Amino acid sequence: MYYSQPVVHTTTTFAFAPPQRFTTFWYYSLYTQIQQAQLYEMQAWFMSVDLNRNGQISAQELQYLMIGGTHLGIETASKLVKVFDCNRSGQIDFYEYAALHQFINNLYRSFCANDRNFSGTIDAHEIHNALMTSGFNLPFHTVNYLFLKISPSGYGLLFTQFLSLCGTVALTRSLFEWNDPMRTGMVHLNLTQLYDIVSIV
């Protein structure tokens, strides 16, 4: 299930109340944007790919999520699972999946809004604007560095490439937050922890 023109609504009550720990993460705000009817539709898709009924799905299962008629794919699915997999089990539960789904919807809307010439691609400056719209306030030089890693020639990114770039940004934010449980805005890492983070990103 994929909503090509998502409508964002803020809700205060949920048919699916998330666990308390989930509400402390940055992506909880994504969950609060989802309408009740959308939650039921997301649950139906989630259950359809959760073949062993363990309440979790992996990147192998998530890769079949459709984006504009195209499957998400294993590489992007693997990166996105890491963004929302706070216990690093390699799987995500329904609440994490719902936030992930809304993350994709919001990015799709930002991508379309910044593709002003309707080329189907966006350049580094447009990506910078799209990230800011999505709540990621990175300096342009950082965005440009990430952009050139994906497109050394400087050619604009397709949505799937843009989604991969945003997945890297979001994963970095999640890893920082998980290592800053008191939300001080600073983390203290030893070399082994830094190696762990680099290996995940």
Helix axes 36-49, 94-114, angle to 10 degrees: 110
Q: Quickly count: other Cβ atoms within 10 Å of residue 178's Cβ.
A: 15
Judge whether 13 lies within some domain.
Answer: no
What domain count does the chain have?
1
Query: Which position has the higher pLDDT, 44 or 199?
Result: 44
Q: 29-64 burial by CB neighbour count: b if 16+ within 10 A, else e?
A: ebbbbbeeebbeebbebbeeebeeeeebbbbebbbe
**What pLDDT is attached to residue 66?**
82
Binned at pLDDT 50, 70 and 90, residue 12 comes out as: very low
Judge whether 15 lies within some domain.
Answer: no
Q: Quickly count: other Cβ atoms within 10 Å of residue 98's Cβ.
A: 25
CA distance 127 to 123: 6
The CATH code of the domain that includes 88 is: 1.10.238.10
Judged against a pLDDT cut of 70, whether residue 115 lies above it is answered with yes
Judge whether 3 lies within some domain.
Answer: no
Print the domain residue range for 54: 20-200
Please state the pTM of the whole predicted model. 0.83
Location of structure tokens 């050619």? 155
Judge whether 10 lies within some domain.
Answer: no
Judge whether 35 lies within some domain.
Answer: yes
